[in-house]
A and B are shown apart, each in its own frame.
Chain A
Amino acid sequence: MKSYFTKFYNWIDGRVDLSDLVEFMGKKYVPVHSHSMWYYFGGVSLFLFIIQVITGILLLLYYKGGPDLAFESIQFIMSKVQFGWLIRSIHSWAANLFILSAMIHMFSVYFEKAYRRPREITWLTGMFMFFLALGFGFSGYLLPWNELAFFATKVGTDIVGVIPLIGKPIMIFLRGGEDVTGATLSRMFGFHIAVFPGIFTVLLGIHLLLVQRQGMSEPFRTIEEPGWEKKTMPFFPNFLLRDLLLWLIVLNIIAILAVFFPWELGKKADAFAPAPAGIKPEWYFLFMFQTLKYIPGKIGFFDGEVLGIMLFSFAGLAWLVIPFWDRKSQRGEKNRLINYIGIFVIIYIIILTIIGWIF
């Protein structure tokens, strides 16, 4: 068996010269410290993205875009296609776990200040991928063309339309017209399976390349710990096998969720039906949605909703460019303010999401 593998390796090596790559991987080490566990969320996010790509392609074999066929085709996938129910449920569950994992990965990088020089581009590509993940979620949500998705998309795009000057044109662009119609579905389908994956793949390539090139960042506090001694483990095979182990566990969790909590399809969307009570966006948009609900209609001369959206936009922008304004961390000094902001953001998101979920 081993000789067959060696023969195969040699055959490939003779054609594409793998030895450089193997040598590079063999020399690559991952720091080992008390916060090493956070490194794995990047890998888990990658694994979940791979699941999304595979299950997405499988769904694409049967999914039919268009308001007259979308719902029925998902119904067909769920009831008639062999393991169709499993593929769809895995796709839906993995999508949510992907965003959760990416969120954890983002916050771990934030608290470890791993965005500091020379990893600014890694942070930026990561953040853009996170925004794209939210875009994947929003565009994919409408594809089954069910009642909840239809009205949630309506509410979501309505919110975008509130932004002064650019809001309305963006809303019309997203909807493909004034209202959520079949044109919106076609657009979302296009974004979901072509535009977003294309951009995401490029960003992912850069992100992974940079991670490999620059290695994993080490947090300050590890270096400052008394009696600290630099420990590492080889990326290949140690870290990669650990990654693989975690991926298997995640795969099992997804399978359990898909079997015990299959993703519901609900009722087919009807543009003329009244909106069902309690329309809510997906959980990752819930904290923003809930905040907008609490903001009064008018704050001074400004429209409350517009102000709320502007506030989130600026907060998002500030978060995105943090490597460029967190000078202290760049200099290698402790910056408690960054930690306080991060803790506040996490608590805020958790509390508002829970409130939005319950009420």
Chain B
Amino acid sequence: MRRYSAFAIAREAARYHSGWGKAWSSPEPKKKYDVIIVGAGGHGLATAFYLGRNFGITNVAVIEKGWLGGGNTGRNTTIIRSNYLQDPSAAIYEKSRSLYETMSQDLNYNVMFSPRGVMMLAQTQAEVRGYLRTAQANALQGVSTRFIQPAEVKKLVPIINLDGPRYPVLGALWQDRAGTARHDAVAWGYARACSDMGMDIIQQCEVTAVRREGGRVVGVDTTKGAIDCDKLGIVVAGNSGVMAERAGFRLPIESVALQALVSEPIKPCMDVVVMANTVHGYMSQSDKGEMVIGGGADGFNNYTQRGSFHHIEETVRALVETFPMVSRLKMLRQWGGIVDMTGDRSPILSKTPVEGVFINGGWGTGGFKATPGSGWAMAELMAKGHSPLTDEFSMWRFKEGKFIDESVAAGVAH
């Protein structure tokens, strides 16, 4: 792999950009790998990357039924934060946020991490109390957040309307080290680094069955033939339930569509991320100038990556109330992704009833921010059979009543 650098740009500029080469190779699958990861999204590729980087396991294939980074990795609103309430969540999300800080250097790929700050508005007294509690919890967890007053909110976000008639802004939970990153670049950067370590990224190849012998995984059947493996990692977000069924077990997960939209590009007007969970709208401005807007989730199981119009109406109504200047903005695109929801709105990183099969899913509406931390923890779990970051996220925690209850703390918008 040739390194990307300022020198490389100058070199290629001098020869009509003819020497860049492919960022990753697309080989045919081998007969056998030590580890197969199903799903070449951010989390799957990050898992493969840290298997190689931290544990020297490079005989790895990442198998993807569609195209690399084409699922939720390319469909989220790119928000990165770690202001969670519960200790296990704070640990893995903060690990993740800190890995984002050095990701561009680690991968030699510009992921455009922008620690611009994330603000979660408190618009009811209950929310004020909730965020004060979160700020205290974060202080104990070593996550830098603080509760700010309306005057400071207005200073950071001049376009905000503090005196909404129904839900005035009473304060906000502010994390100044949080921010956004270019979501495609995260997947591409990991893919390039994995390919460079000799791993095979196999796209357009669906895993149709998981072969087992005596309760142990021995390989997978795919649309490109059978492939053997010692260990299998399932990292397929919305399709977790479908893949689990093919591996012969059930997951406490339900899949629903979550949607987002972007406006036409406008001049810079807001340089932080604002989330308003009570009225349910969240917004940031991309480097191109588009306002990136997160919408609601459908209230019923579905696998259609599209969403529905009335959710857009609700979201946009909330945003017009909060940011009156967006009322005449035209929307450019709208899309949906399938999110895998667990009962306590926390992820599952776990061994499974099938020996050698590991599951990383259930990230629900907030997986992008966790990409590097999730990969880091999943790699440790797969390599060593145990990771301090994943202990609490077992798929059996529901049976034991050991929920990591984040649905109250973070609302719908993770």
- Does A associate with B in a complex? no
Give B residues with C-beta under 8 Å from A. none
A interface list, Cβ under 8 A from B: none
